[in-house]
A and B are shown apart, each in its own frame.
Chain A
Amino acid sequence: MIVSKHLLGLAGVRREEISIILQTAQFFKEVLNRPIPKVPTLRGKTIVNLFFENSTRTRISFELAEKRLSADSVSFSTTGSSVAKGETLLDTVRNLEAMKIDMVVIRHSASGAPHFLATLIDAGVINAGDGRHEHPTQALLDMMTLLDKFGTLEGLKVAIVGDIAHSRVARSNIHGLRTMGAKVALCGPATLLPREPREAFGNDIEIFTNVDDAIRWADALNVLRLQLERQAGGLLPSIREYANYFGITRRRLEAAKRDLVIMHPGPINRGVELESELADSEFSVILDQVTNGVAVRMAVLYLKSGGDLEVANGAG
Chain B
Amino acid sequence: MSRSLITQPCPHLLVRGARVVDPGLGIDQTLDVLIENGVIKQVAPHIQAPYHFEMIPAAELVLTPGWFDMHVHFREPGREDEETVLTGCAAALAGGFTGVCPMPNTSPATDKAEIVKAIIAQGRQTMVDVHPIAAATKGREGKEPTEIAELVDAGAVAFSDDGCSVRTAELVRRVMEYAGMYQKPLIEHAEDESLSLKGAMNEGVIATRLGLPGMPAIAEDIIVARDLLVAEYTGGRLHIAHLSSRRAVELVRWGKSRGIAVTAEVTPHHFTLNHEAVIGFATNTKMNPPLRSPEDVEAVIAGLQDNTIDVIATDHAPHSAEEKNVEYAAAPFGIIGLETAMGLIISRLVLTKKLSLSQAVEKVTVAPRRILNLPQAEIKVGQPANLTLFSLEKKWLVDKSKFYSKSRNTPFDGWQLAGKVFGVYHKGQWWANPDF
Q: Which residues of A contact B (CB under 8 A)?
A: 11, 88-90, 108-113, 115-116, 130-134, 168, 171, 194-197, 199-201
- Are the CB atoms of B330 and A110 closer together than 8 Å? yes
- Are the CB atoms of A195 and B203 closer together than 8 Å? yes
Select one of A116, A132, A133, A168 contacting B326, CB under 8 A: A116
Which of B11-19, B210-218, B303-311 lies at the binding interface? B210-218
- Are the CB atoms of A195 and B212 closer together than 8 Å? no
- Are the CB atoms of B209 and A201 closer together than 8 Å? yes
- What's the Cα separation between A199 and B206 when bound, in Å? 9
Q: B4 near A: Cβ within 8 Å?
A: no
> Known contacts A110-B328, A196-B204: does B209 contact A132 (CB below 8 Å)?
no
Q: Which residues of B contact A (CB under 8 A)?
A: 200, 203-214, 216, 280-281, 322, 325-330
- Are the CB atoms of A131 and B211 closer together than 8 Å? yes
> Known contacts A111-B212, A171-B211: does B205 contact A116 (CB below 8 Å)?
no
- Are the CB atoms of B211 and A132 closer together than 8 Å? yes
Select one of A88, A116, A130, A197 contacting B211, CB under 8 A: A130
- Are the CB atoms of B327 and A110 closer together than 8 Å? yes
- What's the Cα separation between A229 and B73 when bound, in Å? 37
Q: Which residue from chain A places its CB closest to the CB of B322 in the assembled complex? A: A88
Q: Show 6 residue pairs from A and B whose CB-CB distance is below 8 angstroms, ordered by the A residue.
A: A110-B329, A110-B330, A111-B329, A131-B212, A194-B208, A199-B205
- What's the Cα separation between A23 and B354 when bound, in Å? 54
CB distance from B328 to the nearest CB of A (A): 4
> Known contacts A111-B281, A112-B281, A195-B203: does B327 contact A11 (CB below 8 Å)?
no
- Are the CB atoms of B211 and A168 closer together than 8 Å? yes
- What's the Cα separation between A195 and B207 when bound, in Å? 8
- Interface-central residue, B212, B213, B281, B325, by most chain A CB under 10 Å: B281
- Are the CB atoms of A89 and B205 closer together than 8 Å? no
- What's the Cα separation between A201 and B327 when bound, in Å? 24
- Are the CB atoms of A111 and B330 closer together than 8 Å? no
Select one of B203, B214, B280, B329 contacting A115, CB under 8 A: B280
- What's the Cα separation between A142 and B207 when bound, in Å? 24
- Interface-central residue, A90, A108, A194, by most chain B CB under 10 Å: A194
Select one of B203, B216, B322, B328 contacting A111, CB under 8 A: B328
CB distance from B325 to the nearest CB of A (A): 6
Chain B contacts of A194 at CB under 8 A?
A: 208
Chain B contacts of A197 at CB under 8 A?
A: 208
Chain A contacts of B214 at CB under 8 A?
A: 195
Select one of A112, A132, A195, A196 contacting B327, CB under 8 A: A112
- Interface-central residue, A90, A112, A201, by most chain B CB under 10 Å: A112
